[in-house]
Amino acid sequence: MNQRKKAKPLFAVCVDNSGYLASLELYKIYRVIPDDDATADGDLRVIDESGEDYLYSADRFVLIDLPQEVIKRMQSQATEHETE
């Protein structure tokens, strides 16, 4: 049986929020939603300040790796907010 590895959550830091001051905070960490079509076009799909995922130019972000403990806590916090 072929098992697929669970995709590691991706995160990025916003380094350019020009033109999107209400949607993106400079130097904030955003969750990236994998989207091969967006990547091929030079974009990233991120969950922005609206809480929804949108496409932005990839050059507005720097992809980062976070320690597993930080990822767990961020996911736990997100889950708590969804149930409120």
Residue 41, token pair as written in the block: 């076009």
What residues have CB less than 8 Å from 14, skipping those under 6 apart?
24, 25, 26, 27, 28, 30, 60, 61
Structural domain that includes position 58: 10-83
Domain membership of residue 38 (yes or no) is: yes
Residue 5 forms part of a structural domain: no
How far is residue 78's CA from residue 30's CA, in Å, rounded to a whole number? 12
Q: What is the pLDDT of residues 2-29, one digit of tens each?
A: 444 556 669 999 999 999 999 999 999 9
Q: Which residue type sits at 74?
A: M
pLDDT of amino acid 82: 61
Average model confidence (pLDDT) across the chain = 87
Q: pLDDT: is 78 or 29 the higher one?
A: 29
Specify the CATH number for the domain of residue 37.
2.30.30
Tell whether 32 is covered by a domain.
yes
Question: What one-character DSSP code corresponds to residue 8?
Answer: P
